[in-house]
Chain A
């Protein structure tokens, strides 16, 4: 599924959130959108889901402009995961997974089979599916949230700070699992995060949103080597070396040997 923003302008009252933004996310790519709080990262995702509408310009999905009449159909084609999962507390994990499929007319058998398949994919013990969200740990809840987004095997996945509320160990584990998942699924994935290292682990393409514009757009290494301006430089520096270590860690994992900190990265 391909996403395109054309001359999109979005305001909140007098505040301009997005300024004549033109942007394309080709099908199958994994991109991360970074920026400060309130930079409009989440707005970007909401515009794709028809949960918010631009003042000017248009959002195109697979080349077709998003219209209010089409929004329900589009939402069913896009999995959406928010921070802390947004699981419905009155339903069990399975109940949460079943909500949309049941509306779409799936049989109980088909729902259970798909849930079991996804539980294995996300390394979640199947017994936990009968629990209510309040009876699950934060990491387990987040896995269920991702599973819910994947139930109908949508061609695209939007994640808004999916790991933001997790403790470091769980977060690291889930990061690796998601990274592997994205690579294996070949879906269009957009991740909103303010953590540069996480973005580097999960995505091939990193975009920095600042004052309504995209100021940097490219792979993580490009951010280090060719920062577009001083803001990018400061944004990277503020991550306290996280990016360099993440890149080193990734390289190490890729090479299958220890590689603590590349010299060029340490220079930053």
Chain B
């Protein structure tokens, strides 16, 4: 799905005012509670998304067996992806259905396209908004390259899925330049860029490497700019604003286009495929609740690219709640719909979400910090505990069998060199989104310091001591428990401490996939260019890291016997 592959990471939740974050935090907490039980039961069996939704989940079968999915549940539920636009679209459908007397459950910010698609196939949700380009390129891979809309519809129908009329806007890749620059250089189309190789390009990393992104675009237009730099999408906007770049890639509905007065260059050679926004919904749900299909039909063609840009901007740059923004817009679509709009918000998934939203006020900051701290500690704590359970025995085993130890260390080192972001992304197909994949990634990250220090701690016990212990006639496990592990304790604790401190830092990235924690304000702060917001996550994260380090120092002192503390090797 061109441009959508990283939408989870790239366009993470809205401009997040407190409400959205609290709602998400509560959702994650609920998920974590379910997770604790699941972990025990399923012991990390990779199940794409099934358990993702927590207790409210209608447990569907594994992805790919859609035909055997259960019939419609008591109330239809719809899902949204993990970015503002998707949330707003789902809010709008909820309002439209509400108007027809049908209450929808909106499962907010579930994840990326793959997750939503699988959830739809399995009947975990009944509808979600998708883009035709994503369908063609990513979700229906068997489709011929130039498949028309009819081919798309019949391919979907075979899976029991219907597609609504296009909503009226496209959200696809485009190149944009500052308006003033466009005027000065007379830039209106992508072809116009050819005459100005001196312009500096700041492109999102995922856009640069894609054949349907920069690679293909450059070839199609014969562009050869002097300077192309890859960077984070939202930081690219900032670079543009500060005059550090001239050309960026955008999504055509990005809030910043209007806010920063950017000129979107016309794709005069029709390189980028179409990305019309459409509703996908289950046929059985449409038959069971005709109002659902009617509501989807009613929204067809009603949302222009300009209005989508404005809605995104109101949430992301105006810091408003997506539900309020959707309600206001819905009122303009359907005169007289204002009254029902407010009640619709109550239908959101997560029972505590609505009440938490309204509790914003003086104490909200502290409550929020507490909630984030709890999320963060859970991420770090659970992943560290798992890493201990697995890493310590592996380290011990590796120390006993050097033939195993060496490849083991190499494997852990390989996991470690993986950029944390990449590791998180790899976890999504296995664990969905939320705390689970974050914990899995953090677990893998913690393995190296723990395995390595356990292994080296045991392997570097002086040979005479190993010999003496063996010669006493104690069996292997007694030697390990009474002699070797105590002697290696300091090194092992140092490894655990390293893992914990790294974990505290890396866990901030968990917010990218909806795991909550201190990363949330940091990410939102980066997106909104709000230093204060960034600090609200960065400062407690740093404090927690120091605290963890201090705690481990105390632990080490407490666990190290006097004899070892004063022990100096001759």
Contact of A75 among B465, B472, B487 (CB under 8 A): B472
Q: Does B464 contact A (CB under 8 A)?
A: yes
Does B473 lie within 8 Å of A75, measured CB to CB? yes
What distance in Å separates the Cβ of B54 from its nearest Cβ neighbour in chain A? 46
What distance in Å separates the Cβ of B565 from its nearest Cβ neighbour in chain A? 9
Number of interface residues of B (CB under 8 A): 24
- Give the docked Cα–Cα distance between A51 and B469 (Å): 11
Once A82-B468, A84-B464, A86-B464 are accepted as A-B contacts, the answer to whether A72 and B483 lie under 8 Å apart by CB is: no
Q: Which of A80-101 touch B at CB < 8 Å?
A: 80, 82-92, 99-100
What distance in Å separates the Cβ of B486 from its nearest Cβ neighbour in chain A? 5
Question: What is the 8 Å Cβ interface bit string for chain B, positions 102-130, against chain A (1 contact, 0 not)?
Answer: 00000000000000000000000000000
Q: Which stretch in A3-11, A132-140, A215-223 binds the other chain? A: A132-140
13 contacts between A and B (CB under 8 A): A75-B470, A88-B483, A89-B465, A89-B563, A89-B564, A89-B567, A90-B487, A90-B567, A91-B563, A100-B474, A134-B563, A134-B566, A135-B563
| Residues of the B chain whose Cβ atoms lie less than 8 Å from the Cβ of A88 | 465, 468-469, 483, 487
Q: Which of A30-52 touch B at CB < 8 Å?
A: 49, 51
- Give the docked Cα–Cα distance between A49 and B472 (Å): 9
Does A80 lie within 8 Å of B468, measured CB to CB? yes
| Residues of the B chain whose Cβ atoms lie less than 8 Å from the Cβ of A103 | 474, 478
Number of interface residues of A (CB under 8 A): 30
The number of A-B residue pairs with CB atoms under 8 Å apart is 77
- Give the docked Cα–Cα distance between A77 and B469 (Å): 14
Q: Does A73 contact B (CB under 8 A)?
A: yes
Does B467 lie within 8 Å of A133, measured CB to CB? no
Does A86 lie within 8 Å of B465, measured CB to CB? yes
What distance in Å separates the Cβ of A82 from its nearest Cβ neighbour in chain B? 6
Question: What is the 8 Å Cβ interface bit string for chain B, positions 34-68, against chain A (1 contact, 0 not)?
Answer: 00000000000000000000000000000000000
| Residues of the B chain whose Cβ atoms lie less than 8 Å from the Cβ of A20 | none
| Residues of the A chain whose Cβ atoms lie less than 8 Å from the Cβ of B482 | 99
Q: Does B142 contact A (CB under 8 A)?
A: no
- Give the docked Cα–Cα distance between A211 and B102 (Å): 96
Q: Does A56 contact B (CB under 8 A)?
A: no
Does B470 lie within 8 Å of A86, measured CB to CB? no
What distance in Å separates the Cβ of B390 from its nearest Cβ neighbour in chain A? 26
| Residues of the A chain whose Cβ atoms lie less than 8 Å from the Cβ of B471 | 49, 51, 75, 78, 80
What distance in Å separates the Cβ of B336 from its nearest Cβ neighbour in chain A? 80
Q: Does B570 contact A (CB under 8 A)?
A: yes
Contact of A132 among B472, B478, B487, B566 (CB under 8 A): B566
Q: Does A76 contact B (CB under 8 A)?
A: yes
- Give the docked Cα–Cα distance between A148 and B472 (Å): 9
Contact of A134 among B467, B472, B483, B568 (CB under 8 A): B568
